[in-house]
Structure 1
Amino acid sequence: MTNLEVKNEEKHITLSGWFWLALGTVLMFMVITDAFKDSENQQFFNIGFVVLFVGIAVFYKIKAFFNSKKYTDGYQDEFIKQMNHTAYRHAFYCTVGVIFAVWVIGDAIAIPFTHETMSLVYLATASLSYGASIIWQNRD
């Protein structure tokens, strides 16, 4: 593998980490605004966060997918493969930890959440932990 291809893969996985971090943040904001159901601005906040995420997704698509279509099946560099595998492992363990914590202290939660809201919490947890793991491992 040439040095340029390794740099392109590093750039791609960094953008991927920021994308998943942004997705997790948007999902978590949607959960937080769902906790305040009686707020008259809830729909405004949800639409704003969805528009923010769509803008970030378009930026990600332009930057990452347009120039790097060969990275869709996996990474060629062993270090980046290991980084991706470790990030998946972190996301899995973090999500299982949150599911277990909700199961153990579910009755003590003051605000009753619906199943849809809790599924958003699990998706946000997985997205945030995967993105944060990629960003943390790829710091220079």
Structure 2
Amino acid sequence: MAKSPNTASKSKAAPKAQPEVHAPEAATKMLDDGMEKFTDMATKFGSFAEDSMKTATERAAASTEVMRTLSTRNMDFFTRTLEQGAEATQAMTSAKDPRKVMEIQSGFAKSLMSAYTSELNAQAELCMLAWRDAAKPFTAWASK
């Protein structure tokens, strides 16, 4: 009897070898790697935040010191000029000649302007030094 195509013996294909899948172990390894990367990132961020706070604290202390120095210099300058102004006023009121009054007033104005310019330059230099000092962490950070 002839075999019909429907009844022909079908050859069974050999089953393909499936690789062993260890899903729980692979997932655990992925989670461990992810946690290690996250921990590394958190450590770096924590270090950055700590360094930033330390630098900010140092800069705040330095700026407070600069402001204290500037305030002291301003008060000293104000006191000196007030005393010199009182002396000049006394000298002008005791002068009998208008030319002498003009000389005293002119000398006081020149002296005051010279002292003001010198003090302004000194304080500007203090501010520039403070700015340079404050910029050091940023220039060091930018060069990394």
Return the structure number with greater relative CO, CA threshold 8 A, min gap 6. 1
Q: Mark yes or no: TM-score above 0.5.
A: no
- The bucket for the TM-score relative to the shorter chain is 0.3 to 0.5
| Length-normalised TM-score, structure 2 | 0.40
| Length-normalised TM-score, structure 1 | 0.41
